[in-house]
Amino acid sequence: MIEVKDLHKSYGRHGKANALNGITFTVKKGEIFGVIGPDGAGKSSLFRILASLILPDSGTVTINGFEVIKDYQKIRQIIGYMPGRFSLYQDLSVEENLKFFATLFNTTIEENYYLIKDIYQQIEPFKNRRAGALSGGMKQKLALSCALIHKPEILILDEPTTGVDPVSRKEFWDMLDRLKEQGITILVSTAYMDEASRCDRIALILEGKFIGSNTPQGIIDDYSEILWSVIGGKMSTLLSVLRNHPKVKSSFAFGDKLHITVKEGLQTFDLKQYLLNKGFNNVCIDPIQPTIEDCFMALTS
């Protein structure tokens, strides 16, 4: 279990962009907790404090009963941490990296092999290749294996799937589900909103503060805007025409459609007529249910 209370952190001269401004939350044992936010919102600072790598200015963090500052040595035994930037030894082979991390924690690859088997098997054919020569997806798998080899109780993953293709990302999350089943608590940050939906609970972080923390469904239930999807013609022109409509509050591309939020009183029929008058054809406007990404857009804009 992770308990974070009123965490503050600033970095001197450039502190403003990276500070944590009073973060409080709890992660239960065996839960996947996602932290989602724009770059520079404080995600990495938060994770580094939890991993005992940097000190907070104030506030407390306890992980499974250990205090992150006082008991940092104990903390490091029970957490597995995967930093945002690939930080394994590029000049060591896949197997050498794994062996190194196992040795650091007084264990062996064999002892905890069952825990990493799923993941490691996929890169084992390349165990003699230098880590620096691996592709993006393989690097992530090796980094996760290294973070798991000492059988941690808590996994802290800082944007583990950035730069990873959709298929490998899904595999990665399937692995997280299996680790969760083994009772491992997982704290993870991501910029992919489809991954946010796979967490038990998520928190949106903005300028060092949590601006919403709930189950993915709870976040969606709290959405209060009137949301429509729009298709019809060239996306960039449609975007700017919609933004000039006085009753359209926001307008963003969502895949092959636009999602817009509108003021009360506007009817889909009126807007359709407006677009037809502006020369758009085959206009189609429908009220829709929000996704996590819509919630994110509403909360950050």
Partner 1 sequence: MNENVIEVSNLTKRFGHFTAVDHITFNVKRGEIFGFLGANGAGKTTAMQMLCGISLPTEGKGTVAGFDIIKENEKIKRNIGYMSQKFSLYEDLKVWENIRLFGGIYGLSDKVIAEKTDELLEKLNFQHERNTLVKYLPLGWKQKLAFSVAIFHEPNIVFLDEPTGGVDPAMRRQFWEMIYSASDRGITVFVTTHYMDEAEYCNRVSIMVDGHIDALDSPSTLRSQFNTESMDEVFRQLARKAKRAD
Residues in touch with partner 1 (CB under 8 A): 14, 17, 36-40, 84, 122, 125-126, 135-138, 159, 162-170, 191-193, 235-236, 239, 252-256, 293, 296-297, 300-301
Of residues 17 and 54, the one with the C-beta less far from partner 1: 17
Of residues 73 and 289, the one with the C-beta less far from partner 1: 289
Of residues 185 and 251, the one with the C-beta less far from partner 1: 251
In angstroms, give the least distance from the CB of 19 to partner 1. Answer: 13
Choose among 43, 55, 40, 52: nearest CA to 9: 55
In angstroms, give the least distance from the CB of 123 to partner 1. Answer: 8
In angstroms, give the least distance from the CB of 104 to partner 1. Answer: 27
In angstroms, give the least distance from the CB of 237 to partner 1. Answer: 9
Of residues 106 and 281, the one with the C-beta less far from partner 1: 281
Return the residue matching tokens 């896949």: 94
Of residues 41 and 102, the one with the C-beta less far from partner 1: 41
In angstroms, give the least distance from the CB of 191 to partner 1. Answer: 5
